[in-house]
A and B are shown apart, each in its own frame.
Chain A
Amino acid sequence: MKENILIIGGGAAGMEAATQLKKLGLNPIIVEKSERLGGHIAQWDRLFPAFHPAKDVVEQMLNNVKDVDARLNTEVTDIQRDNNGFHAVLSNKETIDAKAVILATGFDLFKAERKQEYGYGIYNNVITSLEIEKFFKEGKDPRINNPKKIGFVHCVGARDVKVGNTYCSKVCCTTALKQACEMKEVFPDAEVYTFYMDLRMFGPGYEDLYLKTQKDFDVKCIRGRVCEVSEDMNGRLVIKAEDTLFGKPLRMTLDLLVLMCSMEKAKSIDKIQQKLGIANNSDGFMQNKDMYLGMNDSKQDGVFVAGTCTAPKSLPDTIGEARSVAVEVFNYINNK
């Protein structure tokens, strides 16, 4: 008989883990709280560093899991350990008995209105990195009206003790440069600025994207954090920042400001996490057994973790972890 493996979360990590577990002869069951599989990445238009359509990757992943048992619009409401593994109760009153549980619950996007000084939700022309991605995907947003000057703010809700997030969210730097280039593609006459503190181009081809951003797209990267945003009489945005390389404060009027929101561990799993005995690190992300050889293991027997529930990660990172968690679970089942 095929052993059931309960995967909580149907995003990139959950789908890829299910694909691999199926290949390894186990029976993965995905429980997804939203009405579709695909997670955050399905909302994305193109991927860094090479502007690859996200749809290609997502469709392939969805195709891989088309034979996998998946419950949509469903949450795990209760989970208990028994002699055979785990007994989970779902929000549709169904129960699932599984030998192991994979938490692939991902992240919530930082709520930009929490950084009040940036004026999200107050000024019309302040938008988030997700909203601009929707604009690229759908081609329209009433707030994006042929802007002549566009600014991007890095590290919104990251590296910031005032919002309780001291960590780096890892992917926003590269995303900002990608989106800055895309805005230049849509509005070639616009001036595009990014406000960064460090540009963390950590992956293959990312540094090339940076060079391209500077040279081919003429995006101006200014080192300094935007400290406040206000609106002038004409409804344009006035921003203040220090150009820390030049050593002088600067002011600029913009037509559009994009906030690069950080990742926070998804809150909706808190209750189940508590029932399973999985603690968080000081940064609010889930604790794994250790960060080198036990990154997919939790401190609880039979409970595994994958993807952005343990830390901010890029899509390739997440897929890599999803594949490795499948092997971990396979070994766990076979050695039992």
Chain B
Amino acid sequence: MDFGFCLSPSSHVKMDSIDLTTFNRLKETNPDVNTCIACGSCTATCTAGNFTEMSFRRLLLMLQRGKEDEAKKMIQRCMLCGKCTLVCPRGINIRKILLDITR
């Protein structure tokens, strides 16, 4: 019998049990991934970001919070134009990192 009750999954990010495989692999070849200051320049200039949820700043955070599936879905929106790399004040080679994530 269905009484209409259900369990909602917790919205908490459980830092103790997240999977950081992709981010740690990325860090080996691109130590710059650590240096993001979340200024949002990449997202603001992003050609795809104008029409979709694409945001490199957020993508990096997703990988650090164990949301790999969401990150891999988001990355499909990227058109590899490289404008994000031009504007990054930390000089992060974002285009290369995006390519490395999908590799």
Contacts and interface: CB of A to CB of B under 8 A. Distances in A.
Interface stretch (A12-20, A245-253, A259-267, A309-317): A245-253
B2 interface: no
B65 A250 contact: yes
Given A246-B65, A248-B65, A253 B16 contact: yes
B90 to A, nearest CB: 8
Contacts, number: 45
A223 interface: yes
Interface stretch (A155-163, A211-219, A291-299): A211-219
A220 interface: yes
Given A215-B34, A220-B64, A243-B61, A249 B11 contact: yes
Contacts of A218: 27, 34
Nearest to B16: A253
Contacts of B32: 215
B34 to A, nearest CB: 5
B15 A248 contact: no
B13 interface: yes
B13 A251 contact: yes
B95 interface: no
Interface string B1-38: 00000000001111110000000000100011011001
B64 A214 contact: no
Nearest to B90: A211
Interface residues of B, number: 19
B77 interface: no
Nearest to A240: B12
A251 B34 contact: no
Contacts of B83: none
Q: How large is the interface on A (under 10, 10 to 19, 20 to 34, 35 or more residues)?
A: 10 to 19
A249 B12 CA distance: 5
Interface string A197-213: 00000000000000100
A215 B37 CA distance: 12
A interface secondary structure, majority: strand
Contacts of B34: 214-215, 218
Contacts of B16: 251-253
A251 B35 contact: no
B13 A248 contact: yes
A253 B62 CA distance: 20
A223 B38 CA distance: 10
Contacts of B62: 246
Interface in A229-259: 240, 243, 245-246, 248-253
Contacts of A240: 12
B13 A243 contact: yes
B55 to A, nearest CB: 11
B13 A246 contact: yes
Contact of B61 (A215, A246, A252, A253): A246
A243 B31 contact: no
Nearest to B31: A215
B61 A251 contact: no
A246 B58 contact: yes
A274 B13 CA distance: 52
Nearest to A239: B15
B64 A248 contact: no
* A-B pairs with lowest CB-CB distance, top 8: A252-B15, A250-B13, A214-B34, A246-B61, A214-B35, A253-B16, A245-B38, A251-B12
15 contacts: A211-B90, A214-B35, A215-B34, A218-B27, A243-B65, A245-B57, A246-B62, A248-B12, A248-B65, A249-B13, A250-B12, A251-B14, A252-B15, A252-B16, A253-B16
Interface of A: 211, 214-215, 218, 220, 223, 240, 243, 245-246, 248-253
Given A211-B35, A246-B61, A252-B15, 11 more contacts: A211-B90, A214-B34, A215-B35, A246-B65, A249-B13, A250-B12, A250-B14, A251-B12, A251-B15, A252-B16, A253-B15
